[in-house]
Amino acid sequence: MKVINSEYKKRNMKIWNEVAPRYHKRWASVNKGPFQSTKKLIELMKINEKNLVLDVACGTGVVTKQIQKKVGKSGQVVGIDTSTTAIKIAKKENKKNKNLDFLNADAENFSFSKKFDIVTCQYALFFFPNAQKALKNIKNNLKKSGSIGISVHGSNENVPFFSSILDSATKYIPDYIPPGTPNLDRFGTKSALKIEVRKAGFSNIVTKEFIFKYSPGKFEDYWKNYIKYIAKPLKEKLNALEYSKRKEFKNSVKEKTLQYTKRNGDIIFPWQVLILTAKNN
Ligand SMILES: C[S@@+](CC[C@H](N)C(=O)[O-])C[C@H]1O[C@@H](n2cnc3c(N)ncnc32)[C@H](O)[C@@H]1O
């Protein structure tokens, strides 16, 4: 298990180093797609001035920056992520904010000398192979009165932006998802998410569901952009498919998107997001 986890982590780190600039440009910096939920997460956390906040798996620092606006000059915010590229972007975009720091650290293995009032984690819990370890680690770095806020995508069928392509990809490219990859929708139901967080010792757990809309444009835009924004190894696997198989694959994706396609050809996907809040004790 340990070997598989460390191989997966290396692979995931490489992917995020490659994908981070595109992810930042396409989603994070423009508050589109799943980023419509960031505002909800920040509201639910009731962040005050002077708070010391940690943003775990902060990516390019978009959520972290929103938090910094809430804590004002008297608070302090730290963002950690394993992707060196993401942290570089976060630092570059936030040079002026003195009370905002970004560091490379693993969610499962970090430790700070000070304890935090609040810890947030947007769209990353499912990437941690040992999510329990990460949650317990978060708990250890939280004040007794502290709270956490965790956002995850809903289950596959409720996030057709991903599943329309992924379901077909796994059918046409059997090794599309390498062995050892954690199931990315394993916390995609209220109960699964709650059980995991409760197991780590948190209390007062509340999980809210939000459904946003996202239009990736017409089918050809969706297809083209999805391929453009995925990491190189996946693109290579797709390109290695025989022409006829690739066509079949594309058609099967198109079929899945039909139920979300309007008369003018625009696809409008629903996007389910779960946001969990909990207390340390
Ligand atoms: C979907 S992005 C979300 C980034 C950010 N929270 C946001 O919402 O913009 C997932 C992030 O998790 C990070 N990540 C994955 N595994 C990690 C780990 N074990 N420790 C810390 N960060 C990790 C990736 O590098 C990536 O930046």
Q: What is the pLDDT of residue 3?
A: 62
Helix (H) or strand (E) holding 17: helix 2-26
Q: Is 12 in the pocket of ligand 1 (CB under 6 A)?
A: yes
Q: Is 62 in the pocket of ligand 1 (CB under 6 A)?
A: yes
pLDDT reading at 1 higher than 80: no
Instruction: Report the distance separating Cα 221 and Cα 96, nearest Å.
Output: 36
Question: Which domains are assigned to the chain?
Answer: 2-156+182-215+270-279 (3.40.50.150)
In the reported structure, the alpha carbon of residue 107 is separated from the centroid of ligand 1 by a whole-number distance in angstroms of 9
Question: Helix axis angle, 131-140 relative to 190-199, nearest 10°?
Answer: 50
In the reported structure, the alpha carbon of residue 104 is separated from the centroid of ligand 1 by a whole-number distance in angstroms of 11
Closest ligand 1 atom number to CA of residue 60: 9
Q: Is 106 in the pocket of ligand 1 (CB under 6 A)?
A: yes
In the reported structure, the alpha carbon of residue 203 is separated from the centroid of ligand 1 by a whole-number distance in angstroms of 24
Q: What is the pLDDT of residue 196?
A: 98
Q: Is 128 in the pocket of ligand 1 (CB under 6 A)?
A: yes
> Please, which pLDDT band fits residue 132 given cuts at 50, 70 and 90?
very high
In the reported structure, the alpha carbon of residue 151 is separated from the centroid of ligand 1 by a whole-number distance in angstroms of 12
Instruction: Report the distance separating Cα 193 and Cα 189, nearest Å.
Output: 6
246: three-class secondary structure by DSSP: helix
Q: Is 58 in the pocket of ligand 1 (CB under 6 A)?
A: yes
Q: What would the two tokens of residue 47 be?
A: 């962040």
Q: What is the pLDDT of residue 29?
A: 74
Q: What is the pLDDT of residue 212?
A: 93
Q: Is 126 in the pocket of ligand 1 (CB under 6 A)?
A: no
pLDDT over 70 for what percent of the chain? 99
pLDDT reading at 57 higher than 80: yes
In the reported structure, the alpha carbon of residue 60 is separated from the centroid of ligand 1 by a whole-number distance in angstroms of 9
Q: What is the pLDDT of residue 75?
A: 97
Backbone φ and ψ of 280, nearest 5°: -65, -45
pLDDT reading at 232 higher than 90: no
pTM: 0.95
Q: Is 102 in the pocket of ligand 1 (CB under 6 A)?
A: no
Mean pLDDT, residues 102-127 = 97
In the reported structure, the alpha carbon of residue 54 is separated from the centroid of ligand 1 by a whole-number distance in angstroms of 13
The label of the residue with tokens 């209390």 reads 203
Mean pLDDT, residues 2-27 = 84
Q: Is 59 in the pocket of ligand 1 (CB under 6 A)?
A: yes
Mutate to test the pocket of ligand 1, among 9, 19, 89, 123 (most ligand atoms within 8 A of CB): 123
Report which protein residue has its CA nearest ligand 1's atom 13: 57
Q: Which amino acid is at 260?
A: Y
Q: What would the two tokens of residue 105 be?
A: 């650290």
Q: Is 28 in the pocket of ligand 1 (CB under 6 A)?
A: yes
Least confident range of 101-105, 194-198, 222-226: 222-226
